[in-house]
Structure 1
C-alpha cells in the first residue's frame, strides 16, 4: 500500500513547509531524524555495532541572544553531534531553534551553552558538545583546503549523474596509503530537493583505488537525494563493501545554508583532521 504523506517518517519536519519564525526561545522546535532510516538500506542493521566512529560537526554563523540588560550578543557556534547518537538533527529545525534565542534574555554566555547542550543532546539522543566564540576571537579558524591529492583534474569523461556505486574499482593490486579529495560533491536535500554543495576527503589504506572511477562515483551523487550525514555514511559503506580497503576515513564539508554548515566525519581508525573552514564555506 502506498504510504500517505501524513504517514511518512519525515512528515513532521519543517523542511519544504511555510514557516513562522519564532519570537521566543522554544526547544520544541528541534526535530530528530532517526539515523537508522538510512543505515538499514546501506547494510547497517538495527542494533549492529557501527562499522565506524565519528561526529557531525556543525558551525552556526547566525547565533544571537540578549543579556539581562537587553544588550544583544552574537557568536559563532561549534556543535559536535556523535555519530553514535540514535538521531541526527534536521537542519531547518536547528535553524529555527537557534533563531528562537534572538529575542530571549540569558544571564550569561555559559547559560546559553548549557541550554544548547541540553536541548541538542535531548534531540540527538546522545551527548552534544557546544562551543561559542565571540566573532572577534575566531582568528584560529582560517580558510584552508583539504590536505592530500585532488582528483578533480583527472582526465575522465562523465555521463552518469545518478547514484552508481558500481563505478568504483581498483587501479591495480598495489596496496597504498593515501589521501584523496574532491570539491565536486553535489547531492540534493532529501525533502526539498535543493542542491547541497560539498567537498569530500577520503583517507584510506588498502588496494589502490582507481581515481577516475572514484571521481565518476562522486559525481554520480549529483541527482541523489539524501541528508549530508547520510551521504557520508553511504560513501563509507560503498568503499568498504565494494573495495579491498583495510582502513578508511570519509569527511565532507558542505557549504552553509540558513547560517549553518554541516561537516560529517566517519572513520574506522582515526580521529577527525583539523577542522578548517574551506573556501566555499
Structure 2
C-alpha cells in the first residue's frame, strides 16, 4: 500500500459532497500492446433531485483505459457515495463523475453511461466520453438493457 493513500486500509468518514471527496490514484505499469480497459459498475448510485429533493437512482458503468494512474476503488466508492445528499440533475451527476476520474488519472480514454431509473415514468440515460476508443482494445457493450425494470 502506498503511503500517499489516505483512505485505503483506514476508517474514514463519508465525504459531505462530491466537491469534498478525494479520488485517490495508484501508479499503473501499462503492459505492451493495446490499452487495457478497466470497468467499474455502480448499480446503486444515488443522488437527489435539485428541485424536489427526492432521491434519484442510477446504474453507472465506467470504462477507462488507464495511462499512468489507476483509480483506487475505495476512494471511488466514497466519491460516488458523496452524491447521496447532493442535488444535481442526472446529466450533471453523470458527467461530473466522468470528469473527476479524468482529472485524477489522465486516462488514455474514458466513457461513462448513467442509466437512470424512471421518475414520472421516464428513464433518462446519459453518456459521456473523452473521444474515440483506443484502437485495438476489446470494448464490451455496457450490458445494461433498455428500460424494462432494468434488472
- Normalised by the size of structure 1, how large is the TM-score? 0.40
CA contact (8 A) 2:14 2:81 kept: no
Contact 1:199 1:252 in 2 (8 A): yes
Contact 1:161 1:222 in 2 (8 A): no
Q: What are the Cα deviations for residues 183-210 of structure 1, in whole angstroms up to 9, with x where unaligned? A: 2311111211111011111100112210
Task: Decide which of 130, 139, 145 is 1:276's aligned counterpart.
Answer: 145
Q: Tell me, in whole angstroms, the C-alpha distance in 2 between the residues paired with 1:222 and 1:202.
A: 18
What are the equivalent positions in structure 2 for 1:154-193 lying under 5 Å apart?
A: 158-164=13-19, 166-175=21-30, 176-193=36-53
**Residue 241, structure 1, aligned to residue 123, structure 2:** no
In the superposition, the TM-score normalised over structure 2's length comes to: 0.71
Instruction: Confirm whether residue 201 of structure 1 aligns to residue 69 of structure 2.
Output: no
- Structure 2: gaps of 5 or more residues: 1-9, 31-35, 134-138
Give runs of ≥4 in structure 1 deviating > 6 Å: none
Residue 15 of structure 2 aligns to a residue whose secondary structure is coil
Q: Which has the larger radius of gyration?
A: 1
Larger relative contact order (Cα-Cα within 8 Å, sequence gap ≥ 6): 2
**Distance in 2 of aligned mates of 1:209 and 1:166:** 13
Q: Deviations over 1:42-78 (max 9, x none)?
A: xxxxxxxxxxxxxxxxxxxxxxxxxxxxxxxxxxxxx
Native 8 Å contact 2:63 2:111 kept in 1 = yes
* C-alpha deviation, 1:160, in angstroms: 2.2
Aligned partner of 1:264 in structure 2 is 126
**Per the alignment, in what secondary structure is the counterpart of residue 79 of structure 2?**
helix
SS of the aligned residue for 1:221 comes to: coil
Distance in 2 (CA, whole Å) between partners of 1:183 and 1:280 is 13
Q: Is the 8 A contact 1:167 1:217 kept in 2?
A: yes
Listed as ranges, the matches of 1:143-154 within 5 Å are none
Unaligned runs of 5+ in 1: 1-154
Q: CA deviation at 1:249?
A: 0.4
* Residue 124 (structure 2) pairs with residue 255 (structure 1): no
Greater share of residues in helix: 1
1:80-118: CA deviation from partner (whole Å, max 9, x where unpaired) = xxxxxxxxxxxxxxxxxxxxxxxxxxxxxxxxxxxxxxx
C-alpha separation between the residues in 2 aligned to 1:165 and 1:172? 23
Distance in 2 separating the partners of 1:246 and 1:259: 37
In 2, Cα distance between equivalents of 1:212 and 1:255 = 25
Q: Deviation at 1:166? A: 4.4
